[in-house]
Amino acid sequence: MAVFVISDLHLSFGTDKPMDVFGARWQNFEEKLKENWLKKIAPNDTVILPGDFSWGMTLAEAKPDFDFLEALPGQKILMKGNHEYYWNTLTKLTEFCDEQGYKTIRFLHNNAFEAEDFLIAGSRGWLCEASMKEADRKILDREVGRFAASVAAAEKLRKGEDDTREILVFSHYPLSSLSCRHPALDLLKKAGVRRVFYGHLHMVSPANLPPAEEDGVTFSLVSADYLDFDPIKIEK
């Protein structure tokens, strides 16, 4: 069993939202993703998808994308991104999966999961800028609270003081910035989080990424186009 991650699939089997308008890299990306996925991911593996999974505006529109994902091997844990318009309450999302007979799809939202030798936590996040509007500040503060709730849920999954499983944190938005210190960093450090995986950014080179390390926490971009639509394994 292993844990993999890939973000920002931007599937649109149920909507007219072709991604190749963003460049040749996105041409036939669904087939490339499927081919890479089948090469490395087994039914007992877990794949984390930190946001922007589907362009569907509703669950009905997103259903073909869920069908595509369900047909792939592995257990999948989905998170909310900035384009997750179909997203609803956790109860309704779970009911939708039950109604459709999906057996491999779960949702990370104010909760946590166990996967292999890891504890999985995270939230959508929000951009942190030196100068922010009050509305953005409120969203950022709310997301910090959701990171706190998810990390606390992960800590509750520990089976005693000898349980040293690493808490992996996933965020749709980057949690490092050149312009400000993200307010979620202190709670992540306190919980001993060492690795954060994020998406959202596209068509960027390694030289133009946000800082890859801050206060002992490392940050890795896992957007699908950045990974060439090839999920990466998270090593222990």
Q: 11-60, pLDDT tens digit by residue?
A: 999 998 877 767 778 889 999 999 999 999 999 999 999 999 999 999 99
Alpha-carbon distance of 135 to 7, in angstroms, equals: 26
The CA-atom distances, in angstroms, between 236 and each of 111, 176, 195 are: 22, 22, 11
14, 64, 89, 55: CA torsion to nearest 10: -40
Ranges of beta strands (E only) in the chain are: 3-5, 46-49, 75-78, 105-107, 113-115, 118-123, 166-171, 195-198, 213-214, 217-221, 232-233
The CA-atom distances, in angstroms, between 34 and each of 7, 30, 61, 68, 149 are: 14, 6, 20, 9, 33
Give the three-class secondary structure for 26.
Answer: helix
pLDDT, residue 169, reads 98
Could you tell me if 26 and 225 are in contact, meaning their C-beta atoms sit under 8 angstroms apart? yes
pLDDT tier at 63, thresholds 50, 70, 90: very high
Ranges of beta strands (E only) in 40-182 are: 46-49, 75-78, 105-107, 113-115, 118-123, 166-171
CATH number of domain containing 208:
3.60.21.10
Q: Calculate the CA 120 to chain-centre distance.
A: 10
Number of domains in the chain: 1
Higher pLDDT, 97 or 177: 97
What's the length of the chain?
A: 236
Q: Model's pTM, two decimal places?
A: 0.95
Could you tell me if 194 and 14 are in contact, meaning their C-beta atoms sit under 8 angstroms apart? no
pLDDT, residue 205, reads 84
Domain range enclosing 65? 3-233
What does the pLDDT look like over 127-169, one tens digit per residue? 888 788 999 999 999 999 999 999 999 999 998 889 999 999 9
pLDDT, residue 148, reads 97
The CA-atom distances, in angstroms, between 154 and each of 113, 169, 193 are: 7, 10, 11
Alpha-carbon distance of 45 to 14, in angstroms, equals: 27
Q: Which residues pair with 211 in a beta bridge?
A: none
